[in-house]
Structure 1
């Protein structure tokens, strides 16, 4: 009897450790913030721990994470599903812009397996400016339930303030915690204002990761397993010159 109880405790602990380690990881999109009409644009999707520069090889992605969807939203709101292929440490896709304006790339995946009693829901987006920003430069071009957006990611420069918006269910995510991770792994947690906005001034050049996570208290069944929480993560990468 005591042995069975011990086994249950150990199993619960291992599950907790496993789920916690997944929380430290994220899916994110990398692509150039600007593009050229008629020229092929590369899009990369990574999984790992950004702050530690720890990239998980594509054949080691857990559960069915590789089955993420990748949607391209054109400045005129046309949606196209992108096909990606696995490389050694990422998934790669391409598109060729044929309009001027801002293209939004949207990634989403709800993991098949329930971890502990939690569903994991990964989201990411990226924006690409082609020609000008007359069309498509708005946060809700990303229709994921959770998202992050910056109007001027293409102009990000060292020592110049950057404004970032967090959204949940299509509206501003007010008074929510958003994490900024610098290229050297330095992290800062900020709280959004009543407009769902944070701002920070980068002091180093390189890639900055913006992460917004929210845990929804909800119960039900997912692929035949019960859950009582849904953990949702959104990422958005900003390349600072």
Structure 2
């Protein structure tokens, strides 16, 4: 009897670990918020659970996640596709900015396999200021259908208000739950206003992750498998000094 009970508990624990884990994980870009014209800028793409500092080794990324697209959009709207190299716990790419202004880095991937009747769509972005660029609202530069943007990313400071805009299909994502995760794992959900904007004041220095997840109640077929909805996730990392 004890053996059966122990097996049942073990099975339930395994299901709790395996099933929700996928949705606790996200893809995100890390790069410096500022750069120098003519000097290589490093871009890193991670997969894992940011709040737990749980980074998945690149060799263990599920399905075809490693086939993500990575594009740099210059201030003059020139798009350059980058090739990323697998390292132990991330993928790494470089580009050399040749203009002053705000560069937008866009990562996107629709997962090949349907998971629990859902098509999974991962998105991430970052903005890099080159030179003494004037702050501009460049959120629309992002080509992903779901995205986040902060005009305060390059100047983010501890105990200073940070504003973040959420967009869906190039429009303000109104009344949506946006999650902010602090460097120590503390997290909070904030509802966006009528302009698709949230605000928060960072109490600690370090990297903050902003996540916006949205589920489309749309059925269809993807690579020969039926799905009932499309789960989309956007991430945006802000380094607070």
Smaller-chain TM-score bracket: over 0.9
Q: Which residue of 2 aligns with 1:173?
A: 173
Contiguous gaps of at least 5 residues in structure 2 = 1-10
Residue in structure 1 matched with residue 3 of structure 2 by the alignment: none
**How does the TM-score come out when normalised to structure 2?**
0.92
- Mapped to 1, the partners of 2:187 and 2:111 lie a distance apart of 26
* Alignment-derived partner of residue 52 in structure 1: 52
Task: State yes or no: 1:237 paired with 2:234.
Answer: no
- Partners in 1 of 2:154 and 2:136 — Cα distance? 14
- What is aligned with 1:91? 91
Work out whether residues 102 and 137 of structure 1, in 8 Å CA contact, stay in contact via their aligned partners in 2. Answer: no
Q: Kindly provide the CA deviation profile for residues 144-183 of structure 1, in whole angstroms up to 9, marking residues without a partner as x.
A: 0000000120100000000000000001000000000000
**2:68 aligned partner:** 68
Equivalent residue for 1:203?
A: 203
Aligned counterpart, 2:26: 26
Aligned length: 230
Secondary structure of the residue aligned to 1:107 is strand
Aligned to 1:4: none
Deviation at 1:21, TM superposition (A): 1.1
Measured in 1, the distance between the counterparts of 2:78 and 2:99 equals 11
SS of the aligned residue for 1:32 comes to coil
**Alpha-carbon displacement from aligned partner over 1:198-241 (angstroms, at most 9, x marks no partner):** 00000000000000000000001000000001000000000000
Q: Over the residues paired in the alignment, what is the CA RMSD in angstroms?
A: 1.7
TM-score, scaled to structure 1: 0.92
Q: Displacement, 1:136?
A: 6.8
Task: Tell me, in whole angstroms, the C-alpha distance in 1 between the residues paired with 2:60 and 2:49.
Answer: 14
2:7 alignment counterpart? none
- Asked if the contact 2:135–2:151 (Cα under 8 Å) also holds between the matched residues in 1, the reply is no
For 1:5, the equivalent position in structure 2 comes to none
Taking the aligned partners of 2:161 and 2:104, their CA distance within structure 1 comes to 22
Residue 14 of structure 1: how far off its partner (Å): 7.9
Mapping of 1:77-226 within 5 angstroms?
A: 77-134=77-134, 137-226=137-226
Distance 2:142 2:216 in 1: 20
CA–CA distance in structure 1, aligned partners of residues 44 and 55 of structure 2: 12
**CA deviation digits over 1:182-203, x for unaligned, max 9?**
0000000000000000000000
Structure 1, unmatched stretches of 5+, are 1-10
Q: Which has the higher mean CA deviation after the structures are superposed, 129-138 or 230-239?
A: 129-138
CA contact (8 A) 1:48 1:55 kept: yes
Q: CA deviation at 1:116?
A: 1.2
